[in-house]
Amino acid sequence: MPGQPNKRFRIRVRTTDGKGRAKAELNKLKSDQLGMPYVEFVGTSTPNEFICCAAKADHIEALRGKIAGVGLEEMPGGVTTVPASAPPPPKHQTRQGFQQRGAAPAPVQSREPLPGKPYGFVSIAKELGAADPVWHDGTDSADRLSGELRVELETLTPLLVGWAGEKAGDAQGDWPLPDGLPGTGPIKEGKTVLCPLRAPWGQRPVIIPGDSLKGLLRHELGALLGAPMERVAERSYSYRPNALFASGSNLIARIARIPQDGVKMQALDARTQVRVPVKLELLPADLRYDKRRESNNNYYRFDDGGRANYRGGQGAGEKLNSKRNLHRSLTAEPDEAMATAPVSATVQEGFLSTVRHLTDLEHGHFSMRHPDVPGTVKGEDARKRILEAAQKDIFQPGDLIWVEWDTRKKCIVSLGWHYYYRWVYTDTVRHAAAAPKLQRHGLFPVDKELECDAGGAPVGLTPVRRLFGYTGDNEGSAGIGKDDHAQLMGRVFINAALEVEDGQGDNGRFLQPTFLKELGMPRPSAVEHYIKQPHFPNPRPSDDAPLVTYGDAAGYDAPGELAGRKFYLDRKDAHTGTPWEDHSEDNKKNERSTLALEASKPGRRFRFTVRFRDLDPVEVAALLVTLAPHQFKDLLGGNHAEGYCSKLGYARPLGWGSVRMQAKQLLVLDAAGEMPKLNAQADLLAWAKAHYRTTPMQQEWLAIHRCKHPDAADYPRAADKNGERNIFTFHTNLRTGHSRQRRYRKPSNR
């Protein structure tokens, strides 16, 4: 760094008002407002973004706590490499994303690794094996084991396996709540209140439902044994190519005009035809955005008594959920003639896929998982308007639209009828363009499961379906077996776990009523976590973006593979503090967080039984190590000093639900004599060693179960424009930054 080689601790920030800052302003800001004259602000190619440099990590941490108060916000994952000399500002301040010819290239990138989070993933096994099914008619019982496994569970952090949830103030609920509980004060109407199931006898011991334990065991076995993921919901996602201005990039935002013969009607589905551009007239790439109405030539302006129609927003001129004012017209005065450019078949199909994504209320953009649905806009209203616009309104002759233009290949990459248009990723959660049958690996039945014998029975089953059976009621198990074999009951049966009564009263067993922090929602749109990231923090091979996504644009980047099965991590701070609670008045009053009642304290014990029928010895051994990884850590090759544990129940990302199970007895049925009997195995460890078979996923699976996991942390957050740190801003900053950096192509990909 020029003159400051020792200031190696850095973050990237930007102004919240979107305006640049002169050097004198920055000097005054750091000395007078921040009181940190030792911090260096270095300009970047983007006028309102700066790299903050300090000689000590403590200085950067102190800076993070102050920047919101001076109109700055951090950009997690942003470029922090300082070029040999700061690039000069562009000649003209253009509308976001409209680049100038001859602008300086993007600097070489240097980023911090992604911060910790409360969850991790176990990869989907590359080979998904299948074995002969085991039927329930007794013909497969020879050389197989039946019996039961008796297990004790101990809580390491608070545990609440929710049985009943009520809304405060709901008089029709199964157990109407009083206006207040000890230590809570008045409970806001609509607040979710959660409690465990308790038995009606003795000290009313807590009951953990068997379904919850079965779900845990099934999930664990699927990861350890390498089985397909069965209940992964389909989702499609999109991004805004013009989310941020990209100075000097190879892919640029450019205005185009619809010529008289530039549109064809194409099939969106079997019943609907929509308007799709096939040819466009490109306006010059150096048009200036003349917001102040100062230019006489080579400019464009919005809503200036425009000569061309402009259809702003997702609703093509009609407001859906936009927070911006929608433009209705666009005036452009180029000083060069327009050039004609074809729209490739790939881009045409990309546009059709985007419209399908925008109008798919089950899996697409305006589904119920959208934060603005149904509060700001109803999904059906959005779907109806977008379909109407795509059929009748958009891309009329003379309309001005926006395209993403490749300055090297001289071709259109993506397009939309307004500047902040969305473009769908090439892959979805369940489907990948390059996969056989478009089916993503590990989310569908394998070939042997779909192949049937003469009686309609599947010729093979993957490990979890072989143990627990299948129903065919979801896309992950559809098509397995026919007729009488369309469903199969499992061979593993788990009863409820019952709290061990030890004479302690409620105060010794349960936490006081606890207002929990608001939980983050699992969102596979967070590609930085749900897609494997083999390059981050370094750029990917195709461009300067560090993230791998579901595929930004066909032919421009390689879509990623799913990170795998999600597991919540045991948090170290949950053993020493209370990172889960938020008793602030704001949290008590909002309806998004939960009030937890009667959560079991650490150290409480529960007992349950797992019964099994006609299991191979290797399957029984897999049950043992899956339930009790700490007990069998030596067998598994585990050497983590803090040992191993599992996660169960509610608020796991906040630190709750860390449990350690121990197999107390393995009883095997002996039916050879006059009277059937259960024989206890004397040495469980020796028995497991004799029958357990190492799996390819074993080490990755065991590592995710480390107690006090070194990678576990709270949800990552970043400050918004009001200075409030939240989860949404962290992920938004990463992905908007990505949308810009993907536009800087590598020389070999230009």
Q: Which amino acid is at 460?
A: G
Looking up tokens 């953009």 gives 365
Are 332 and 321 spatial neighbours (Cβ–Cβ below 8 Å)? no
User: Is 265:275 a contact under the CB 8 Å cutoff?
Assistant: yes
Angle at 298 between CA 292 and CA 303, to 5 degrees: 45
Count Cα atoms within 13 angstroms, Cβ side, for 629.
27
Q: Report, as ranges of residue numbers, the positions in the chain whose pLDDT lies below 70.
A: 1-6, 77-79, 82-110, 164, 169-180, 306, 522, 748-750
In contact, 382 and 321? CB cutoff 8 Å: yes
- Confirm if 31 and 100 have CB atoms less than 8 A apart: no
- Residues 6 or more apart whose Cβ sits within 8 Å of residue 321: 314, 372, 376, 377, 382
Q: 610 in helix, strand or coil?
A: strand
14 Cβ contact partners less than 8 Å away, ≥ 6 residues apart: 46, 48, 49, 50, 72, 73, 75
What pTM, to 2 d.p., does this model score? 0.85
For 525: left if phi > 0, alpha if psi spans -120 to 50, otherwise beta; the answer is alpha
Q: How many residues does the chain have?
A: 750
Predicted local distance difference test score (pLDDT) of residue 109? 45
- Which residue in 650, 651, 656, 635 sits closest to 702, CA to CA? 635
- Per the omega criterion (within 30 degrees of 0), is the bond before 371 cis? no
Q: Is the alpha carbon torsion for 423, 427, 431, 432 positive or negative?
A: positive
Within 13 Å of residue 636, how many CA atoms lie on the same side as its CB?
29
The DSSP call for residue 328 is -
Evaluated on CA atoms 365, 368, 369, 372, the torsion sign reads positive
Is beta strand 119-122 parallel, antiparallel or unpaired with respect to 594-596?
unpaired
Give the separation between CA 149 and CA 676, rounded to whole angstroms.
17
Q: For residues 522, 526, 532 and 537, what is the CA-based torsion angle, rounded to 10 degrees?
A: -130
Of 64, 48, 67, 51, the C-alpha closest to 111 is: 51
CB distance 12 to 74 below 8 Å:
yes
Three-class secondary structure assignment of 32-81: HHCCCCCCEEEECCCCCEEEEEECCHHHHHHHHCCHHHHCEEECCCCCCC
Q: What is the token pair recorded at 439?
A: 């089916």
User: What domains appear along the chain, each with residue ranges and CATH number?
Assistant: 9-115 (3.30.70), 238-424 (no CATH), 448-490 (no CATH)
Q: Which residues, 6+ apart, have CB-to-CB distance to 5 below 8 Å?
A: none
* pLDDT at site 749: 61
Crossing angle for the helix pair 210-225 and 617-627, to the nearest 10 degrees: 110
Asked whether 613 and 689 are in contact (CB, 8 A), the reply is no
d(CA 6, CA 664): 58
Query: What local confidence, expressed as pLDDT, does residue 105 receive?
Result: 41
What amino acid is encoded at 65 in this protein?
G
Residue 6 falls in which region: left (phi positive, over 0), alpha (psi -120 to 50) or beta: alpha
Q: Which of 60, 77, 64 is nearest to 111 (CA)?
A: 77
In 417-526, which ranges are E strands? 423-424, 469-470, 488-489, 492-494, 497-499, 514-515
Residues 6+ apart with CB under 8 A from 410: 341
Q: Please give the single-letter amino acid code of residue 490.
A: G
Whether the CB-CB separation of 594 and 194 falls below 8 Å is answered with yes
What pLDDT, on the 0 to 100 scale, is given for residue 522? 66
Task: Locate 454 and state its tokens.
Answer: 């003469």
C-alpha–C-alpha distance, residues 121 and 137, integer Å = 38
Residue 594's CB is within 10 A of a number of other CB atoms, namely: 21
Across the beta sheet with 251-257, what order do the strands follow?
339-342, 279-282, 251-257, 400-406, 411-416
